[in-house]
Structure formats: structure tokens, C-alpha cells
Homo-oligomer: A and B are copies of this chain.
């Protein structure tokens, strides 16, 4: 209810909290971004501003029809997923979320990333069956209708491919946009049945320690999961942001393992078998392993890296969203941790020499995207922007140097498609040059 007037000078006195113009997270921004009426509409605009606004064509004619399922404006046609396989050749198809063009903490269903290895199946939910068997007292078959009679639960959760951010393994920074670098992670509100309910219904044999989950599409993708996760927060997800799952995200049902590597969240789920030990399936033995430094281990690899560790990246500004003039901007980004809630995000505008606390958008939810923001005054010189996140379980995002120290010198990666290296969560750096152009950098 406060009514006071503000001048550009007020804003110029906003407290700088770290190098190169980072302002306090509660600073209000100045008039740098505004067009004053007089500028666009002539000196007499104040009294008759409305009348002088030109009437655009959409104010003079009837608009378009209302569709049963609405989709974005034709003027938002760049706000789409990028496709790794645009000619739909017989190989895997990856689609990446355009985080640089989104805001908030939700990925809309149309833009949730997908990876499908043999196309997206057209599954008739009335014919789909989901079986729990193996080391259980009573193997049971579930249909979509039968699952809908169980207690449902809803939660936001991010899903991230173990290969997200793989371009950062390149020895030199790959010049690509945020979508290409970090687009294999998305976040939705999922609703479904807790797997623990169904497992208890079946009666778990005490010898069961793992389960194998398998998809119904042609690759029958199969992963081994510790039973403890199945009894913790695992869910058979049926709804995504309120509506039935998208076809590329597992319609009519998928396994959701909040915070765990995307590939484990088996889509088109048709089977869970309780077993005593992991199956060592193709995906866990051949694909989702991370080589260790040669010198330390003789070339061994990590196995079963389940958790997507704490990560963050700045979405705006980012490559392709260049700054047109010096002045005040808001730095905005996404942070998440597969272990819990984001506790803190810090931002640097001087390549890591000084840091400032970003504001976290409430509610901060466990294993979900958290939007962070901080005002920033760009003076027009070159700067390096970075974000770094901490979670509430005591983990923090490593710098690039720390990550290399732990995982060894990073190998060259032939393209952003490479599966070779997984689970990189090092700090991402954006270099802004004196012209306002934003590029991917290592710092």
C-alpha cells in the first residue's frame, strides 16, 4: 500500500553485493528498461497517451477459433524442443527443453525433454498391463483403471538424463546454447500411486533386495533399482502437470524415482520383478557408467550412479540472449538436487572471485526445480557469469576445477550427442563480451 515515487537515482544507489554489478536480491530495478511515453508518442503524450497508441490489426478484427486443446502462439514458434534426429532415422531421438525461453519452476508438458530409442509407442491404455512378480508372495497385474482406485499422491520432481550437460566434458567450451548444453532435464508435477503400496500388496519376500523395471515399448528398456528406493519415494506416475502422461514421457504409466538418473525412470512401465541382485542389463553395464581417472583406478568405472547431484545454470542471460545495452538486468536460473531441497544459490559476475546470494522462489520443493534470481547492473565491460548451488543434505555444486580433480582430465567429446561421459554437474560459465554477446566459457 506504500505510495511513493522513485527516480533512476534511487536505483543507481542500490547496494552492490558482489563484483561487476551484482545487486542485493531485494533491490528494485530502475528505469533502464523503459520507454517513456514522450519518447514514442510525442511531447503531448501525457494527457492523450491512449488515443495516440496506434490500433494494431488484432484490435480491429475477430480473432481465431478456440481449439479443444490449445497450443502456443505462432509468434512463439521458437519456443520448442530441439531434435537430435529431425529426419527420424532409425536411431535414438532426443528432444531438449528450451530453458533459455522459459521461466518459473515448471516445464510445460509440450516442452518436457524426451529420449526414445525406438520411437514413441502408441499404447492403448485399455490393453496395457503392469505386472509385479519375482520375489513376492502374490504376483499381481494392474491396469490403468485398477491403479486409479489406489491412493494417489502428487509431487513436483525433476527428471534429468545422466547424459545431460555432457558437452561440458569437452576440453574446450562448445559454443552452443543452453538448450543444447543443459536441455535434458525438466520438471513437472507428477501424480500416481506410491510403488510401496503396490509392493506391500504383493507381499515382499525377505530375500528381495533389488527390482528390475521394464518398459513396454520395442526396446523393452530395463534397469535394476535397489528395493529401498522402491519403498521410499518411488511412484507409478499416471499424470504429468495434471493431465495423463505425454506419449514421449511414458503414457500410460511410468516409474518415477525422484532425483535419480532419468534412464531409471522406466517409461511405458510393464513389469517390475523383485530379485536378489541387479540384472546388469545393457543400459547399466554398457551405457550408464562413468570412467574414473586412469591414474587413480587403472581405468575402472563408477557403476550405478543413481543420484543426479546438485546442479544449477543461469538461463537468462545465456547464449543467444545477448544484452543490447548496458543497464540493469535480472539474472535468472534453475537449481536442483537429486538429494533434497536447494538450500542456497550464489551468483558471481567476476568469474568466481566474489559471490552474492540469489533469491530463491518459494516454495522450494525437494528434488524439484528451484528458480533463482538476482538483479545485476551491467556496466558494458566483459564479465563472466556463474551460478553455484548448495542442497540441504550438505552437498554443493563443484567448480570445474573441483570436478576435474575428482573425475580426472576430461576427454574430448565428438558432439553434444555423446553418451560417453555422464553426470557432470560442474559450474557453468557465461562470458559476456563488451558488445553484450553471451558465450559459453570455462572459468
**Residues in chain A within 8 A of chain B (CB atoms):** 1-6, 28-29, 31-37, 39-41, 45-46, 49-50, 53, 56, 58-66, 68-76, 79-83, 85, 88, 90, 93-95, 101-112, 114, 116, 118-129, 131, 133, 137-143, 145-154, 189-191, 197, 200-201, 203-204, 206, 216-218, 220, 228, 231-232, 238-244, 246-249, 251-252, 268, 270-271, 273, 316, 327-330, 332, 361, 363, 365, 371, 373, 375
Contacts and interface: CB of A to CB of B under 8 A. Distances in A.
A141 B34 CA distance: 7
21 contacts: A3-B206, A4-B200, A5-B137, A6-B203, A28-B200, A33-B149, A37-B133, A46-B139, A49-B141, A53-B271, A58-B217, A59-B216, A60-B218, A63-B116, A63-B120, A64-B121, A66-B81, A66-B95, A68-B80, A70-B110, A75-B124
A252 B75 CA distance: 9
A102 B41 CA distance: 48
Find the residue from A80, A120, A190, A365 having the highest chain B CB count within 10 A: A120
A110 to B, nearest CB: 4
A204 B154 CA distance: 43
Contact of A204 (B5, B41, B112): B5
A114 B49 contact: no
**7 smallest beta-carbon distances between A and B, as pairs:** A63-B119, A5-B203, A33-B149, A68-B80, A58-B121, A37-B139, A63-B121
Nearest to A238: B103
Q: Which of A88, A103, A142 neighbours the largest number of chain B CB atoms within 10 Å of its CB?
A: A103
A68 B83 CA distance: 7
Nearest to A8: B201
Contacts of A111: 69-70, 242-243
B150 A104 contact: no
Contacts of A361: 153-154
A68 B88 contact: no
B228 A122 contact: no
Contacts of A34: 140-142, 146, 201
A68 to B, nearest CB: 4
A111 B71 CA distance: 9
A153 to B, nearest CB: 7
Given A119-B65, A139-B45, A139-B49, A72 B104 contact: no
A118 B168 CA distance: 50
A64 B122 contact: yes
Nearest to A68: B80
Given A6-B203, A154-B371, A197 B28 contact: yes
Contacts of A203: 5-6
Contacts of A252: 73, 75
A105 B189 contact: yes
Given A5-B203, A46-B133, A122 B242 contact: no
A118 B242 contact: no
B1 A231 contact: yes
